[in-house]
Amino acid sequence: MAKVAVLGAGSWGTALSIVLADNQHEVRLWTHRTEQAKKINQTRRNDQYLDAVIPEAITAYSDLKQAIAGVTAVVFVVPTKAIREVARQVDPLISPETTIIHASKGIEPVTLKRVSQMIGEELTAFKEEEIVVLSGPSHAEEVALRQPTTVTVSSVDPDRARLTQDLFINESFRVYTSPDVLGIELGGALKNIIALGAGISDGLGYGDNAKAALMTRGLAEIARLGTSLGANPLSFLGLPGVGDLIVTCTSVHSRNWRAGNLLGKGNKLEDVLEQMGMVVEGVRTVKAAYQFAKEQQVEMPITEGIYQVLFEGKQPKDVVGQLMSRNKRQEMDDLAQLLMERYSQ
Ligand SMILES: NC(=O)C1=CN([C@@H]2O[C@H](COP(=O)(O)OP(=O)(O)OC[C@H]3O[C@@H](n4cnc5c(N)ncnc54)[C@H](OP(=O)(O)O)[C@@H]3O)[C@@H](O)[C@H]2O)C=CC1
Ligand SMILES: O=C(CO)COP(=O)(O)O
């Protein structure tokens, strides 16, 4: 039994707190809103974010110092855009022995930093390599119902990865480990862009063929960028790669898919985001990926098309035309080729 602080009382922070409570840990769920902490403790519900009963082993806090005092592990689960702000508040309060985990999925525009890098920059006692990542196909709604779910925890330090695996693993929440932090974080962040595209495609009324094409060619783009940055191509065939791509592109729970769907039906981005009421990480990450693709000179036509729809006023149908009329080419020049090159020597 351990004491664990979960920072961010949205849908994913609440669901991960439930997993930890099911594993008999003492969970401190931190929110920046005092009213929300009171409501969770009094009603055992967090209805704004998740339809679930909150176990007694979870106590909500709005005082960060109290929430993280004496804990074994701190789990960051706020949206990517709030990571630095929360990490700065944590910095003077955290003991260097604490295991730092994050479960957020995104890349910061302009700096192009991954979440572990942002946390590593803000926490003076920790290097980015010491931050553990938790990622994989895991919608909060299903985790809260204890439906079978699999995720991967990643750290270059096998002890930290195993400690995190032990904290979370149970009979409905299976946790694997991986040493490829880069691949695990990039897979989780970049699939949100393709999920926006899958939603747009469905919103336009296109069928399963179009969605399968987006997912497959989207995975090729993700792997192309990821390997250019040094990730292991095999990671993109695992849970935080193709696994998360499948769940996010095909589930009605996905906020990225739902936002894309509304865009495909002709709604404006500002109206869609207002309507969602929860974070749609792909909108911010597409800016970062678009910039990354240019800097790395990596071809990412789907990402580019989604960027154009979101930020340059291009019509989704025109982007589809643009994608379908690209130069003729061989298919096997992406993930399969990268794998062949890596493993044929
Ligand atoms: N939902 C899911 O199924 C999954 C989500 N994720 C990832 O987890 C991360 C969090 O997502 P999720 O929980 O779904 O998001 P939600 O939109 O459900 O909740 C976000 C939470 O973060 C809080 N928050 C926002 N800004 C700050 C801040 N500056 N300081 C403190 N708290 C803040 C919000 O508070 P407030 O209520 O005041 O806005 C809210 O409690 C994302 O990166 C997402 O991609 C990963 C896997 C699954
Ligand atoms: O990452 C997720 C599931 O693994 C959640 O995706 P959404 O943010 O699109 O809901």
Whether residue 75 contacts residue 101, with contact meaning beta carbons closer than 8 Å, is answered with yes
**DSSP, residue by residue, 147-166:** --EEEEEE-SSHHHHHHHHH
Q: Supply the pLDDT for residue 345.
A: 59
Residue 191 is labelled as binding a ligand: yes
Residue with tokens 């035309």, as numbered in its chain: 321
Q: Which residues contact 121 (CB under 8 A, 6 or more apart)?
A: 84, 113, 128
CB 232: neighbour CB atoms within 10 A? 19
Q: 195: Cβ below 6 Å to ligand 2?
A: yes
Rg (CA), the chain: 20
Distance 328 CA to ligand 1 centre (A): 41
Closest of 116, 121, 118 to residue 131, by C-alpha: 116
Say whether pTM exceeds 0.90: yes
CB 269: neighbour CB atoms within 10 A? 16
Residue nearest to atom 10 of ligand 2 (CA): 254
Q: 139: Cβ below 6 Å to ligand 2?
A: yes
d(CA 231, CA 309): 28
Q: Supply the pLDDT for residue 342.
A: 72
Q: Supply the pLDDT for residue 306.
A: 98
Q: How far is CA 328 from the centre of its chain?
A: 33
Q: 152: Cβ below 6 Å to ligand 2?
A: no
Distance 12 CA to ligand 2 centre (A): 9
Each residue's pLDDT, cut to its tens digit, for the chain (345 residues) gives 999 999 999 999 999 999 999 999 999 999 999 999 999 999 999 999 999 999 999 999 999 999 999 999 999 999 999 999 999 999 999 999 999 999 999 999 999 999 999 999 999 999 999 999 999 999 999 999 999 999 999 999 999 999 999 999 999 999 999 999 999 999 999 999 999 999 999 999 999 999 999 999 999 999 999 999 999 999 999 999 999 999 999 999 999 999 999 999 999 999 999 999 999 999 999 999 999 999 999 999 999 999 999 999 999 999 999 999 999 988 876 677 777 777 775
Q: 261: Cβ below 6 Å to ligand 2?
A: no
| DSSP tag of 130 | G
Query: How big is the CA angle at 218 (ends 216 and 221), to the nearest 5 degrees?
Result: 120
Q: Supply the pLDDT for residue 334.
A: 65
Residue 49 is labelled as binding a ligand: yes
Q: Supply the pLDDT for residue 77.
A: 98
Catalytic, 268? Answer no
**DSSP, residue by residue, 89-152:** HHGGG--TTSEEEE----B-TTT--BHHHHHHHH-TT--GGGEEEEESS--HHHHHTT--EEEE
Ligand nearest to the CA of 50: 1
d(CA 246, CA 251): 8
Residue 33 is labelled as binding a ligand: yes
Which domains, ranges and CATH numbers included, belong to the chain? Answer: 3-179 (3.40.50.720), 189-343 (1.10.1040.10)
Q: Which two tokens stand for residue 255?
A: 């906020």
